[in-house]
Structure 1
Amino acid sequence: MPEGVEDQVRSAFEKIGSVLAEAGLGHDAIVEMTTYHVGIEDHFDLFNEIRCEYVTEPFPAWTAVEVASLRRPGAIVEIRVIASSV
C-alpha cells in the first residue's frame, strides 16, 4: 500500500478505474460514492482535488465519513462506489 495520502488516493482511484474497465465502464459510470477517511481534516482538500481529476460532472452522490481507523494498517482512505451502465 502506498504510504502518502496522495499516493493512496491516486492508487484507489486507479484500482477503481481498472475494475470499471473490466466491466466496460469508466469513472463517469459512478453514480454513488462513499469515502472513509482517517483524519479527514488533514487531507480532505487534497482528496477532493484528486477526486475531481477522476470523477467529473455530473458528479455522483457522495458521502464522506471520518473514521478512527481502517482495517488495513496505514490506510488513510477507503472508497466504495456504485456504478451503472444505464
Structure 2
Amino acid sequence: MTTRQVYNPGPRAQRYYDAMHFATATRAGDLIWVSGQVGIDPETGLPAQGIEAQAQFAFRAVEAALVAAGSSLGDIVELMTFHTELGRDSAGFSAVKDEFVHEPYPCWTAVGVTELARPEFLVEIRAVAFVNAR
C-alpha cells in the first residue's frame, strides 16, 4: 500500500496548512505534487516586485518543497504556471525558468489567468516530480 505524506517547509507553509487546509507538497509513493507557489519574499512576507523577482521566489519555494519531500528541481516531470500577464511577461519568466529548470526538460503548460490569490501576484508555479533514488 502506498502511503501519503505531506510537507510544509517553514512556518508560513505550516500556517497555510493549518488555516487554509492544503499541503505545500504531497508525496505518494515516488511522486510528489507541489501546490502553486507564488513570489513572496520570505524575509518581508510581501510579494516581490516584477515578474523576474516573483518567478525566482516561486521557483525557490518549489525547490524547498521538493527537497523537503526527497526530490529536486531536476526531477520535475510536469510544470504548470499561471500568469496574469502571460504575453507581456513571457520573456522575463522564461529567462528565470531556465535558471532553475534544465535538460531533460519537463512537460510545461503556461496558462493566462485574470487573477491569482492576491492582486499583486503575477505568477504561480505548481509542479509534479518523482523521487530519484540517486
The TM-score with structure 1 as length reference comes to 0.93
User: Is 1:79 matched with 2:130?
Assistant: no
Partner of 2:88: 42
Question: Which amino acid is 2:118 matched to?
Answer: R
* Aligned with 2:68 (options 22, 33, 37): 22
Question: Which amino acid is 1:37 matched to?
Answer: H
Query: Comparing 17-26 with 28-37, which one deviates more in the overlay?
Result: 17-26
Partner of 2:50: 4
What are structure 2's unaligned runs of at least 5 residues? 1-46
Partner of 1:33: 79
CA-to-aligned-CA distance 1:35-84 (integer Å, 9 cap, x gap):
00011111101111110110101100000000111122210000110011
CA distance in 2, matches of 1:3, 1:72: 13
State the 1:3 CA deviation: 2.2
Structure number with larger C-alpha Rg: 2
Instruction: Count matched residues.
Output: 86
CA distance in 1, matches of 2:89, 2:96: 11
* Aligned with 2:104 (options 42, 58, 65): 58
Runs of 4+ in 1 over 3 A off after TM superposition: none
User: Between the two proteins, what is the percent identity of the paired residues?
Assistant: 37
Does 1 or 2 have the higher relative contact order (CA < 8 Å, sep 6+)? 1
What is the CA RMSD across the aligned residues, in angstroms?
1.0
